[in-house]
Amino acid sequence: MTEDEGESKGGRGLPTRTDIDKAYQWRLEDMYASIEAWDTDAEAVLKDSQELSTLAGRLADGAENLLKALKLQDEIGKRLSMMFAFARMRRDEDNTNATYQALTDKAMSIAVRVEGAKAFLVPEILTIPESQLRTYLQTNSDLGLYEFVLDDLIRQKAHVLPAEQEALLAAAGEVTSAPSHIFTMFNNADLKFPMVIDDDGEEIELTHGRYIHLLESTNQNVRKGAFEAMYKTYGQNRNTLAAVYGSSVKKDIFYSGVRKYESARQAALDDDNVPVSVYDNLIDAVHESLPALHKYLRLRKRVLGLDELHMYDIYTPLVSEMKVKIPYSEALTTVGEAIAPLGEEYQRIARQGMQSGWIDVYETKGKTSGAYSWGAYGVHPYILLNYQDSLDNMFTLAHELGHAMHTYYSHANQPFVYSGYTIFVAEVASTCNEALLTDYLLKRTDDRQMRAYLLNHHLETIRGTLFRQTMFAEFEKLTHQHAEEGGALTPEWLSDTYYKLNEEFFGAECVVDREIAIEWARIPHFYTPFYVYKYATGISASTALSQKILHEGPDAASRYLDFLKSGGSDYPIELLRKAGVDMESPEPVRATLKQFSEMVDELASILEG
């Protein structure tokens, strides 16, 4: 599942699903025509899980047993992924529907039982001598399908524990996930914010959802009030939040130590076989290009007419929102034309999919908000939208269609075992589509206001995804290093470290308000260690690839489609290298930041020329 937002919401005046034409609803019956069909698969999954568990202790007896175990794992995975996708997406249609709440819970319960049944598999494979595994591969041609899987297990063998110890670590998972769970409950359920003044001069309660909207206000007093109220609230809870985050970091260090990694960062990156140098190159390249960010901040200060630019002035748009009404039918046409550089086949499949049950289009009562793309092997991908007739929503369509087409090509060209792709590459296809849409719209408008709006939109995407996420990534690197060296993650150390990073990124052109020092305390992604850097590398890779597609034509597009078709059949760094971008080099990041700098210049010429 690739999810870009998502909490359930309903509302007065919203239509129900029965009010929406079927043409604008996804066709989940393409997965299961009935709950009875779902139950049949559930029975098959449990039966196959029992059969798999009978192979425990027998994998070294011969290639046939190993092949049978791996095939059973695939069959279970195919069915279970479709079961879970169907249940969750049915629930997402209307989160108040008790039937699909229960079906989702049932799917999760079955998944837990499956994990228990196959827990023996990896540790037992790794007890088989490598020479014996190689002999299996040579003598059993059917086992050749799993050669990359087995090679990857062998690569990580030094970090896998004996079966009993792996079982113990798995059993501790509920305990070690406590910091993340505590933060989520505290942040979303218990934390209460004060009243602030909105654009209409009315008192409203500050919430997470309202915060960014208030920071986008054209009234600086509104922005300042929301900013100070938000961080005062976190500051009042700094000791608790430092203890929770510190516990999360210690958990990361514990697991990396137990698995014999040099650091928590190395352990996190090793899942994708990504060298630590990629992480460091990203940070170094962004620091080299901070002058481009500072140039953008100077433009922001001039356009907003401010004597001083503060941290709460960074989000308000430089160009007022274009009141352009873009009906869904027009968005389909425009996006369909914008992706033409990817070739006729890509364009044909995407257009057909957009009009044949892939997409759930409109907001309805109880429907999950935001947007995501999801798919299950053996059926076409799906997209959840809550489409409003706006330019931003057209970009969301392009973004999610990129995810869906990646899934489509991956599933169509790979066996199940290699049909999934890692988070490291997941955002490449989506942001590549956005880049193509931006290029298409810029080439077809002479309206200076529209051009400025599009440039501002793209600049904010890069600022938020490449600069901001890299600053987060550097903070994670520093916190884990400090703890690994025996340092205490006190609220003072965390806040001072975070404040210094903000000074380095923004201080040349911005008043770095002291309140920003506590921002670390409100970032949920920090509880998934060393994750955010993938947003920055993803947009860098997609920018490089989209430029090749636009300037080199069909050959570059063909390499890109081969990348989409590759799924998880190789390591992400290698897949991107074959597509034409080397993420072990800092050059893709530098090229994206060079484009950022050039767009700042163009936006300045429009707004100030």
Q: Which residues are catalytic?
A: 400
CA 452/CA 445 separation, integer angstroms: 11
Cβ atoms 97, 91 nearer than 8 A: yes
Cβ atoms 561, 412 nearer than 8 A: no
User: What does the block give as tokens for 18?
Assistant: 């029965």
Phi, psi at 240, each rounded to 5°: -60, -45
Maximum Cα interatomic distance, the chain, rounded to a whole number of Å? 77
CA 602/CA 599 separation, integer angstroms: 5
- Tell me the torsion sign for CA atoms 316, 317, 321, 327: negative
Cα-Cα end-to-end distance for the chain? 45
Which residue's entry shows tokens 């960014």? 212
**Which residue in 447, 458, 519 sits closest to 296, CA to CA?**
458
Cβ atoms 381, 353 nearer than 8 A: yes
Helix or strand holding residue 2 (H, E): strand 2-3
Q: Are strands 382-384 and 359-360 parallel, antiparallel or unpaired?
A: parallel
Secondary structure (3-state) at 273: coil
Give the CA angle between residues 424, 471, 540 to the nearest 5°: 40
Q: How distant, in Å, are the alpha carbons of 295, 316, 348, 351, 424 from that of 429?
A: 29, 28, 17, 16, 11
Q: How distant, in Å, are the alpha carbons of 11, 25, 93, 361 from that of 366?
A: 8, 15, 7, 14
CA 254/CA 251 separation, integer angstroms: 5
- Tell me the torsion sign for CA atoms 104, 109, 110, 112: positive
**Which residue in 573, 479, 501, 496 sits closest to 534, CA to CA?**
573
SS (H, E, C) 406-435: HHHHHHHHCCHHHCCCCHHHHHHHHHHHHH
- Tell me the torsion sign for CA atoms 537, 540, 546, 548: negative
Cβ atoms 409, 569 nearer than 8 A: no
CA 459/CA 457 separation, integer angstroms: 6
What distance lies between CA 164 and its chain's CA centroid?
Answer: 33
CA 75/CA 44 separation, integer angstroms: 9
CA 561/CA 566 separation, integer angstroms: 9
